[in-house]
Amino acid sequence: MTPSSDVETPRYRVAVRALCEFTARTGDLDLRFTPAPTAQQGIAGHQVVVARRGEHYEHEVTLEGRYGALIVRGRADGYDPVRQRLEEVKTRRGDIEAMPANQRALHWAQAKVYAALMCRQRDLERLEVALVYFDIEQQRETVLTETMDRHTLEAFFIAQCERFIDWAEQELAHEAARAQRLTQLAFPHADFRPGQRALAESVYKAISTRRDLMLQAPTGIGKTLGTLFPALKAMPGQQLDRLFFLTARTTGRRLALEALITLGMADAAETGDGPAVRTLELIARDRACEHPELACHGDSCPLANGFYDRLPEARQAAVARGWLDHAGLRDVALSHRVCPYYLGQEMAHWCDVVIGDVNYWFDTSAMLYALARQHQWRVSVLVDEAHNLVERGRAMYGAEFDQGRFAAARRDAPAALKRALDRLWRQWKALLRDHDGDYICLETPPRKLFNALSQFVTAVGDMMVETPIGLESALLEAWFDAMQIVRIAELAGECDPDHYLFDIERRGKSATLSLRNVVPAPLLAARFEAAHAVILFSATLSPAGYYRDQLGLEASTPWLEMASPFTAGQLEVHLAGHISTRYRDRGASLAPIAELMARQFRRRPGNYLAFFSSFDYLERVSETLAEHAPDVPQWAQARRMSEPERDAFLARFTLAGQGIGFAVLGGIFGEGIDLPGERLIGAFVATLGLAQFNPVNEQMKARMETLFGDGYRYAYLYPGMTRVVQAAGRVIRSPEDRGVIYLIDDRFQRGEIQALLPGWWAPPSSDRPTDVAG
């Protein structure tokens, strides 16, 4: 929904669907009516209906009508001019009798608004209005019809507009106030930090010229403020509707909120209302949910019961507050007895700046992306720590079939699912029979298994529609997995065959089928295309060509590097080239690494981080250090740490603290943590960060070779060195910091590797064994 203006009066455009969702929803939130068909199934279903109607049938009929300041528009699914019948088509599964009444009412509202617009546009006196429910499994239509005259339809249309118009006028006023506020927005500090002005200018220019931009900007430059400020500033001039700040980590969300507070975005407007710019923080459902033991429908959860009846007041209170970080949103939600998570989903329609995980824009079912399309928003997107988007993209576009999970689901499955699960199991066993060995990369996708999974998904959906009971957890997990596999199999079918790997790994009696995305580029590219401009920034976005290739950015996408505010004098870089951390040399490396660490610690006691390629390696060095130097305090990252355990690990890094924290490179402490000043004075990096040498990574390498002619660097070296530089980047966090880094491995001596280290570092000085004997 976007405001527009003509000479006389500002007008507010709203899509038919959005209008009806606003005005015609009542009752409970009820997610039992899922699963919906996938987008592809929906499109296919619509095509079948159209094909059945004959040549005279018009489909996707664009309709538009005005009422006061409102412009209502949309595309009706179909119109039969011979029968004078307007059709609203809904693809679905199962018995429509089980559909909640409020859902049916919403569908009718949409059909009637389209019908009213059709009467206006074609000057018709009456119409047959039809709701066509198309069952994608049975390929059967259930058609509900009602014949209505023009006046009845017009009255219905006006009633919907009347219910919406106050809100639309409020939104128009808000848009004007927002534009004024952002036009006047000034940088909140007297000066920019070194490099920050150049950063801000390049972001502003990119958004103003509608270009994507890759920015390698070091820590300490003030990236969050330096990107948010120009992105906000560019909004009025570019007539942008929304700004999304996306990040892979909670810390990134917190920093963005802090930067917005610094920019005055949480302050009340001069009118005394809420802030002129509305901000929303989106968090995952499991963190936002108030009743994790309940299900999301009115019979189970009190915050879902009557949700839509209380939503209008909650929504109004939320826009009045305007600053909707996690705590603010929860406060509004609970005071109106609605679910905070689903209120957040609703507020994503109405907030100007949204902060959330990257999956809200890039995932297969990304909510913000879907909203932008629905409302035809012009959006700029800031992607924080953008180097993570390669791995996150692969994960978002990948899936796994885990034998154990499906076996558990099958054991206790209700009778209604037995057939589907037995069929699935047979296909799985047949696949395993045909493919022997611990690791098999399949030459073609296992279509029969995918079909069986799709049938299982349908069977669960049907069962839930007919008997809306909660699913036992093993079954629920298998169902989610199956849905993801079906979705990814469809996506993979649309990609270059080299962009996906289908492999089976056997471990003992169990086996896993993985659908691995190798290169997320084409799938991410579509999301870049949908935005006005995407700004990707990170301290580690090199080499540019590698990231362009992996992320799907055009070759012409500018890549800029911002000068570091730090100087070589702040950081001693040592290179322990006499040590090899290769797998075969690990035993011999333990004592020299421990000696080197002890020597550095004794020379300058304080807090250090030490990074290793695996928990096993970490534990062995830790034991050796404890033996050789019991005076050096140490603590270690453990496998699968809870949040309190992570906090306890970081809490050891106090200003007066001393000791070495052992961590795994590329893990939770390898990036995104901020330990300024004396809280961290040095790091030991005992690995090149190369992915483990195994059949999967070798397959990835082979594909990278085929696609980019550079298998080793693309599969191993570049991702590895990104991890190294990220980890080392924990040491110097401000121009006042002083620290030391030890790069431990002979391969760090190679020119090619050193070229991947930050340019502001001094050339590493060599630490010979004689130097390190403590």
CA 341-346-348 angle, to 5 degrees, is: 95
Toward ligand SF4, which CB reaches closer, 324 or 440? 324
* Secondary structure of residue 536 in the 3-state scheme: strand
Toward ligand SF4, which CB reaches closer, 306 or 328? 306
Toward ligand SF4, which CB reaches closer, 333 or 562? 333
State both tokens at 655: 């200003």
Toward ligand SF4, which CB reaches closer, 294 or 408? 294
Neighbours of 5 (CB within 10 A): 13
Shortest separation between residue 286's beta carbon and ligand SF4, angstroms: 9
Shortest separation between residue 278's beta carbon and ligand SF4, angstroms: 22
Shortest separation between residue 290's beta carbon and ligand SF4, angstroms: 4
Distance separating alpha carbons of residues 76 and 67, to the nearest angstrom: 19
Toward ligand SF4, which CB reaches closer, 285 or 423? 285
Toward ligand SF4, which CB reaches closer, 305 or 517? 305
Burial class (CB within 10 angstroms; exposed 0-12, middle 13-18, buried 19+) of 13: middle
Distance separating alpha carbons of residues 117 and 120, to the nearest angstrom: 5
Residues in a beta bridge with 246: 356, 383
Distance separating alpha carbons of residues 15 and 73, to the nearest angstrom: 5
Distance separating alpha carbons of residues 430 and 433, to the nearest angstrom: 5
State both tokens at 227: 């990107």
Shortest separation between residue 303's beta carbon and ligand SF4, angstroms: 4
DSSP state of 630: T
Toward ligand SF4, which CB reaches closer, 301 or 389? 301
State both tokens at 434: 């045909």
Shortest separation between residue 357's beta carbon and ligand SF4, angstroms: 17
Distance separating alpha carbons of residues 565 and 733, to the nearest angstrom: 10
Nearest to 145 by CA among 97, 105, 94, 85: 85
Q: What is the full DSSP assignment across 732-760?
A: --STT--EEEEEESGGGGSHHHHTTS-TT
Shortest separation between residue 23's beta carbon and ligand SF4, angstroms: 22
Shortest separation between residue 156's beta carbon and ligand SF4, angstroms: 31
Shortest separation between residue 294's beta carbon and ligand SF4, angstroms: 4
Toward ligand SF4, which CB reaches closer, 289 or 416? 289
Toward ligand SF4, which CB reaches closer, 29 or 206? 29
Nearest to 624 by CA among 665, 670, 587, 675: 587
Shortest separation between residue 27's beta carbon and ligand SF4, angstroms: 14
Burial class (CB within 10 angstroms; exposed 0-12, middle 13-18, buried 19+) of 657: middle
- Up-side HSE of residue 286: CA atoms within 13 Å toward CB? 0
Shortest separation between residue 341's beta carbon and ligand SF4, angstroms: 5
Toward ligand SF4, which CB reaches closer, 332 or 740? 332
Toward ligand SF4, which CB reaches closer, 339 or 431? 339
Single-letter amino acid code for the residue at 157? F
Shortest separation between residue 283's beta carbon and ligand SF4, angstroms: 11
Distance separating alpha carbons of residues 103 and 298, to the nearest angstrom: 14
Shortest separation between residue 297's beta carbon and ligand SF4, angstroms: 8
Is the separation of the CB atoms in 680 and 730 below 8 Å? yes
Is the separation of the CB atoms in 22 and 311 below 8 Å? no
Is the separation of the CB atoms in 340 and 375 below 8 Å? no
Shortest separation between residue 336's beta carbon and ligand SF4, angstroms: 13
Toward ligand SF4, which CB reaches closer, 341 or 742? 341
Toward ligand SF4, which CB reaches closer, 341 or 537? 341
Find where tokens 């660097």 sit: 713
State both tokens at 279: 């901000």
DSSP state of 30: B
Single-letter amino acid code for the residue at 269? A
Chain residues in the site for ligand SF4 (CB under 6 A): 29, 285, 289-291, 294, 296, 301, 303-304, 339, 341-342
Is the separation of the CB atoms in 505 and 435 below 8 Å? no
Q: Is the dihedral of CA 455, 458, 464, 466 positive or negative?
A: negative
Sheet strands (E) in 565-703: 571-576, 607-612, 634-636, 659-664, 682-685
Shortest separation between residue 531's beta carbon and ligand SF4, angstroms: 29
Parallel/antiparallel/unpaired status of strands 510-517 and 399-402: antiparallel
Shortest separation between residue 305's beta carbon and ligand SF4, angstroms: 9
Nearest to 148 by CA among 116, 120, 110: 116
Shortest separation between residue 304's beta carbon and ligand SF4, angstroms: 4
Toward ligand SF4, which CB reaches closer, 339 or 382? 339
Query: Distances from the Cα of 540 to the Cαs of 355, 383, 460, 560, 759, in angstroms?
Result: 22, 13, 44, 12, 12
State both tokens at 625: 């250090």
Distance separating alpha carbons of residues 254 and 327, to the nearest angstrom: 12
Toward ligand SF4, which CB reaches closer, 304 or 314? 304
Per-residue buried b or exposed e for 91-107, using 16+ beta carbons within 10 Å of the residue's own CB = bbbbebeebbebbbebb
Toward ligand SF4, which CB reaches closer, 16 or 343? 343
